[in-house]
Structure 1
Amino acid sequence: MKATVPISIASLKAACSQCNLQELCLPFGMTENEIDRLDELVGTRRKIKRQQHLYRAGDLFEAIYAIRAGSFKTDVLLEDGREQVTGFQMTGEILGLDGISTEFHTCNAIALEDSEVCVIPYGKLEELSRQVEGLQHQFHKVMSREIVRDHGVMMLLGSMRAEERLAAFLLNMSQRFTARGFSAAEFHLRMTREEIGSYLGLKLETVSRAFSRFQEDGLVAVQQKHIRILDIAGLRKLLQHQPSGG
């Protein structure tokens, strides 16, 4: 059973300071009356237990979701029955945009830990964007950021060797944690190495070897899923096709 909790504008403001949807939910320059109307837009929060689906491929597209707490992965089922991870999303980021074009979700969204999302019904978003000046423009900005991120992943998979892919992944996670106000150098990865491999187009053994190499070279310290980046400049050098050590 899906747990939903009513959300007020006061709690919405408090929760949105580190959210990628803050300019969508609370656009700059809005009047108090317009802000009050946003209670119609973000009406509920939904709690999702670890390993539970927020939505599945083929489900009717009804809403987009801002992750208020926790993290998710998205994946698709390949013809041979394997799961292909297509993305990882963390607190403050967005889920559900995959369903806009066809009105059905094209991937699965699964919680990597106990999580909570703000539910933004798409029909209400469209209606309100016609009435609140600037809201549609802000939503297009949000969508554009997601397209740019997806394009970056395509470049990653198309042009990089295994160690470069993992270095780029860790640097990307570091930047995203930093944007949320957390440490850039020390963080906990909620996904498994197998899921990282699926996302990066690498076998599990290749991911494990790359992590081991990074530890031997003094680039990172790894304790299970806990990561400490010891030499961020060294990771960046890998992406410039330069040796990381002397």
Structure 2
Amino acid sequence: MYKDRPYVISIAGFDPSAGAGLLADIKTFEQHQAYGFGVSTAWTVQNDSEFLEIEWMEPAHIIKQLKPLVSKFDIKACKIGLIQNPGVLLEVISFLKSNNPAIKIVLDPVWKASAGYKFNNWDTGLPILKQSLIKIDLITPNLAEMQFLGGSQDVISSARAWAKYCPVLLKGGHHEQNPALDLLFDQDDFYEITPAKVSLYPKHGSGCILSSAIASNLALGLLLPAACKKAKLYIEDYLNSNPTLLGYHKA
């Protein structure tokens, strides 16, 4: 039976291996019964284990890709991944919000490729990034990203400080007894998102997929805590789908 699907968009890098970035996000949107659009922020030369080169898109070209989509479609949610620097990020977010104030925006703050390549065009610190944070609905840093972007080894304190501007999902790796535990900070509210399964195999692009699953769930009408919990179940199945770095998507 025909059923309308919400529109969701990924603004991210193009990874030819399809394990991360735009292609991985589109796979995730489809499995969540959302219709996915994709706008490229960068072209990369890589596979699942090797990152060799990147060519950034100019902000004007990113927005040029966005214009015909936002002018025609009611896009419910957006996932933003690889983006060059805070200035480009703010320009893109401001454009989205000026066209659709209700759009839900999930930011996956990619500053380092899983293969080890560092994107060095990011300035760190809350004063620089808070202009963007106040316009988004969630940021999803892992331990290393929170340490880098927050400028502190104390990731819990950094997450709490950032949560005054937007919700923060601090992904696993920060809990000695349970490294798969995620922590959601939303103003003064706090949620523990516990794993349902043991994740056996690491995957290229798992952070991209988690954030795009959350964006899909928000587009489908779930509240943020429920969207994060459901996305965690999805990523656990993805991580366990096979023993390679490239996982399989399944509903």
What's the TM-score bracket when you normalise by the shorter of the two chains? under 0.3
TM-score (norm 2): 0.25
TM-score (norm 1): 0.26
Structure with higher helix content: 1
Higher Rg of the two aligned structures: 1
